[in-house]
Amino acid sequence: MTEEDEAFNEIERQAKQRKESVQAAMRAALASDLYDSGYKDGMNDTIEEVAQHIEKMKGFGQDTISSLAIYIRGLKK
């Protein structure tokens, strides 16, 4: 395996870890009592804000960033 392959695999591994962290955080937020208590609009605003911040990230390919943002926006209720 070349250095380039190893670097690509490391970036993909880091992206996967970040994605899993975001998913876990969003699942926890969606399951919280605050969400069930009628804060859906606030939650959707927060989800959109997270997606916008993800789109500003550097260090990943545009396809990866766009995929994360689309996934996060898909969590809106």
- Would you say the pTM of this structure is higher than 0.75? no
Alpha helices, H only, the chain: 3-31, 33-36, 40-55, 62-73
Q: How many domains does the chain have?
A: 1
Task: Supply the pLDDT for residue 66.
Answer: 92
Task: Give the residue-averaged pLDDT of 10-24.
Answer: 90
Q: Tell me: the pLDDT tens digits for 38-73? A: 667 778 888 999 999 999 988 888 999 999 999 999
Structural domain that includes position 68: 3-73
Residue 18 to residues 11, 41, 42, 68: CA-CA distances in angstroms? 11, 25, 23, 9
Task: Supply the pLDDT for residue 17.
Answer: 93
pLDDT > 80? residue 36:
no
Residue 56 to residues 31, 37, 61: CA-CA distances in angstroms? 27, 31, 12
Please name the residue that has the structure tokens 């690509």.
8
pLDDT > 90? residue 27:
no
Contact 70, 50 (CB under 8 A): no
